[in-house]
Every structure is written in structure tokens, then in C-alpha cells.
Structure 1
Amino acid sequence: MFDTKIAILVLEDMDTWQKLNVTAFLASGVAGEAPDCMGEPYLDADGRRYAALIGQPVMVLSATPEVLLRARNQAFQRELSCAAYVRAMFSTGHDAANREAFAAENVETPDLVGLAVRGPKKDVDKTTKGARLHA
């Protein structure tokens, strides 16, 4: 049904609130990078409008630091749309500070706690190899 796939990988050993926070931010990154993945706005029975949601399933996966780094590298090699969240961003309070924290990370080994990828199904599946469905 869909030519593309969206997967969000989160570090397995974080608190639940952190996993949910990272997942929400990364989903917004996918939506911002690929507006074509958005569905239509929702209307309730009284005609009240609700915001559009991503119009395809989003797989949320659990990963180790090694799997996250490997997935990041694979995403760039396969030219997938990619959003990332690093641990230092938990200690910031706004978007500009998040970008500063992100830019300060080691390019080769960033302290990734989350990664979202979107692209052709086959490429996303290969990119997320080693991650498992989040429980």
C-alpha cells in the first residue's frame, strides 16, 4: 500500500518519558522533512477540525547505541530522510539550544538516543536491521 516506510529507533535503556519525548520530536522531523507523508485533517461528527496526522504507519523500534549509529550511517549511505536526537538535547530548553547541542556532537560517534528514517521500504528495512519492535 505504501512505497515508503517510516521507522523511529529509540535507545532501549531510557526512561519512558524520554522515549516518548524523543519519538514525538522525531515524528515531527519526518513530517517537516516529508510533508507528502501527511494525511488530510480530521473532522469530528460536529465538523470541528483536528490537525492532520502522518498518513502511513510509523514503526517504533528499540535499539542499542551501536544499532543507532549503524542505522545513522546506513541512512546517509542510502540517502534516506533522517532526523536525529542526541542525549545532550535533554538538557536544553529550546530549539536553538538543541541545534547548538547537536552541532557540538562528535560527527563520527554522536551520543544518539533516537533516529527517524523515511524512504523506500527495502532501504529502511536494511537500515534498521538489528533494531526490534518496541514493546
Structure 2
Amino acid sequence: METLMTEDPVDVGPPWPTKVAVLLREDLLPWQELNVTAFLAGAVAAAVPELIGRPYEDGDGTRYLATIRQPVLVLTGPAEVLARARTRALERGLPTSVFTAGLFATGGDAENRAAVRAVRGAELDLVGIAVHGPRNVVDKVTKGARMHP
């Protein structure tokens, strides 16, 4: 008699119970959008390791790194929408990462942290934030933002 195996939670597909959203300020240059998105998505992946799937392998047996296993929604909005989203995310206790305008001029991780630490939260010049949480909560946090074109 065959036994039915339960699905491995890492291999479960849509609909996802959670959402990863990156919210970018609408006035960024294309290279800045890409840079900020990569930094912020990496921060969420580091904070929420269960978002990482399994490594890939092609037909020749060459192995590749694992990726985030669910889509990352990329949104845009004006500075006020980012500030409001930051406040909402923190009020709801969601894992949140930030990228400020000043980080484009820093030279590394220690300088990045010092640049953020030098400014009170409500006064951060946000160019991007990322959040992870239940789908409906992330939707409320990012209300007012629109899909990136």
C-alpha cells in the first residue's frame, strides 16, 4: 500500500499566505530603483529565512543559489506614502527594512547603519522600504502606493 507524503512547506506554491512588498519613492532613477529593491529584498530574506526556497539545478547538474520562493511585489509612491507605510508597518510589528537617500553616498554597511542611526525615524529621507507579513496586513500598510510600472 502506498503512503501519501505531505507536501514540504518550502515547496508549497500560490496562493501565498504572506506577501513581500518593496515600496520605492517615485522619483528614483532606474539604477537607484534596482539597487534599492535588491538591498531591501535581501534584508527581508535575511530576517525571514523561511522565505528562501531550495537551490536550483539545471539539466547538466550545475547548482545555483536558492532564491526567495514567492513573488516580491514592487510598488511606488510619493515620500508621504513611504513615511506612512513605515509607521503602519512598525505599528503592526512587521519585519521592515529601510533605505534612505543618504545611503547612496555611503561606502559600506557600517556607514549605512551610522547614516540611518543619525536621523530620528519620523525624519528619515526614505527612498524605499520593504515589509513582509500576512497579505491583508501588507496591503493595508502599503495603501496609497501603486504597482511599479
TM-score interval for Structure 1 and Structure 2 normalised by the shorter chain = over 0.9
Matched residues in 1 for 2:74 and 2:122: separation? 24
Runs of 4+ in 1 over 2 A off after TM superposition: none
Q: How far apart are residue 93 of structure 1 and its match? A: 1.2
Letter of the 1:47 counterpart: G
Q: How far apart are residue 65 of structure 1 and its match? A: 0.3
RMSD of aligned alpha carbons: 0.7
The percentage of counterpart residues that share the same residue type is: 51
Which structure's CA Rg is the greater one? 2
User: Gaps spanning 5+ residues in structure 1: where?
Assistant: none
Q: Determine which of 100, 103, 119 is the counterpart of 1:86.
A: 100
* Secondary structure of 1:117 counterpart: strand
Matched residues in 1 for 2:121 and 2:140: separation? 22
Give the TM-score normalised by the residue count of structure 1.
Answer: 0.98
1:78-103 deviation per Cα after TM superposition (whole angstroms, max 9, x unaligned): 11110100010000111111101111
Aligned residues: 135
Matched residues in 2 for 1:118 and 1:28: separation? 12
Matched residues in 1 for 2:123 and 2:47: separation? 24
Find out whether 1:98 has 2:115 as its counterpart: no
Matched residues in 1 for 2:93 and 2:75: separation? 20
1:61-86 deviation per Cα after TM superposition (whole angstroms, max 9, x unaligned): 01110000000000011111101000
User: Gaps spanning 5+ residues in structure 2: where?
Assistant: 1-14
1:1-135 equivalence runs, <5 A? 1-135=15-149
* Secondary structure of 1:108 counterpart: helix
* Secondary structure of 1:129 counterpart: coil
Matched residues in 2 for 1:122 and 1:81: separation? 15
1:36-85 deviation per Cα after TM superposition (whole angstroms, max 9, x unaligned): 00111000111111110000011000111000000000001111110100
Letter of the 2:123 counterpart: T
Give the TM-score normalised by the residue count of structure 2.
Answer: 0.89
